[in-house]
C-alpha cells in the first residue's frame, strides 16, 4: 500500500519527498492500459464469435478465453511482421526516399519528386530504346524483368526513386497496350510506353483500369 500511496499522492507537506510519474510516463501508461483493455475485449469477442460459429461448423473446436487470448496475440504478431516486411520492401523500391524510424520507415523530409516532365520523358525514352534493342535479339520479346540477362538494369531505375513497372505479356513493336509505366513515386499523371513505341501520359484512374484489364486476361 505504501508504494501505491507514493505514486498516487498529489500533494505533500513542506519538506516531504513525493515520487510521481512524469507526463511522458503517464501518457505511456494510459496508452498501455488502453491497449490491454482493447486486447482483452477483442479476445472476449473472438471467443463469443468463434463458439457461435462452432455451433454450425462442427469441425471447429470450442474456444475458451485462454485460447482466444493466444489466437488474438498470434494474429496480431503475424500482421505486425507482414506490415514490417511491407515497410522494408517500400524502402528497397524507393531508395533514399525513406528513413528508418524504430522498426519501420517514414518519408524523408524533402524527398518529394521534383523532376520535370521533360526529364521524366527523356528517362523513359531511354528505357524504350533499351527494350527495343533487347527485342531485336530475342524474337521480339520484351525482357522478362529489369534484371534479365542482356538488360541495362540502370535504365530501369526511375530517376525519382524506384523502378519502372513492366506489363507482362505485352510485346514491343505493335498495338496500343501499355508495356511499361512509371512507378507511383512519379505522382499525378504517369508516363507510359505503349506497344507501338509511343510515349504518353496517363492519369491514375485510367492507368489503373488498363492494368487491371490486362491482368484479368
Model pLDDT for residues 42-85, shown as the tens digit of each residue? 999 999 988 888 888 878 888 888 888 988 999 988 988 888 77
Cβ–Cβ under 8 Å, residues 167 and 179 = yes
Could you give the CA distance from residue 105 to residue 125 in angstroms, rounded to a whole number? 32
Report the helix count and the strand count for the chain, using DSSP H and E.
Answer: 5, 6
> In angstroms, what is the C-alpha Rg of the chain?
28
- pLDDT value of residue 115: 74
Mean of per-residue pLDDT scores for the chain: 79
- pLDDT value of residue 199: 92
- pLDDT value of residue 90: 58
- Residue 2 reports pLDDT greater than 60: no
85-99 tens-digit pLDDT: 776 665 555 555 555
Average pLDDT over residues 126-146: 89
Would you tell me how many other CB atoms lie within 10 Å of the CB of residue 131? 23
Total residues found in the chain within this entry: 217
Domain boundaries in the chain? 2-107, 117-216
Amino acid at each position: 500500500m505504501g508504494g501505491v500511496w507514493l505514486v498516487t499522492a498529489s500533494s505533500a507537506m513542506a519538506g516531504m519527498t513525493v515520487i510521481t510519474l512524469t507526463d511522458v510516463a503517464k501518457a505511456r501508461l494510459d496508452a498501455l492500459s488502453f491497449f490491454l483493455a482493447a486486447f482483452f475485449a477483442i479476445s472476449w469477442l473472438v471467443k463469443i464469435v468463434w463458439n457461435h460459429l462452432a455451433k454450425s461448423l462442427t469441425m471447429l473446436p470450442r474456444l475458451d478465453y485462454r485460447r482466444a487470448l493466444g489466437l488474438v496475440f498470434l494474429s496480431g504478431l503475424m500482421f505486425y511482421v507482414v506490415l514490417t516486411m511491407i515497410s522494408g520492401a517500400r524502402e528497397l523500391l524507393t531508395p533514399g526516399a525513406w528513413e528508418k524510424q524504430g522498426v519501420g520507415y517514414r518519408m524523408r523530409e524533402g524527398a518529394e519528386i521534383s523532376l520535370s516532365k521533360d526529364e521524366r520523358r527523356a528517362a523513359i525514352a531511354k528505357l524504350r530504346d533499351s527494350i527495343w534493342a533487347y527485342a531485336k535479339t530475342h524474337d521480339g520479346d520484351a525482357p522478362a524483368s529489369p534484371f534479365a540477362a542482356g538488360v541495362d538494369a540502370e535504365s530501369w531505375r526511375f530517376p525519382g526513386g524506384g523502378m519502372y513497372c513492366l506489363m507482362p505479356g505485352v510485346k514491343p513493336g505493335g498495338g496500343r497496350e501499355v508495356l511499361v509505366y512509371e512507378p507511383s513515386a512519379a505522382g499525378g499523371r504517369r508516363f507510359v510506353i505503349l506497344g507501338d513505341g509511343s510515349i504518353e501520359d496517363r492519369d491514375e484512374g485510367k492507368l489503373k483500369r488498363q492494368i487491371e484489364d490486362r491482368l484479368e486476361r
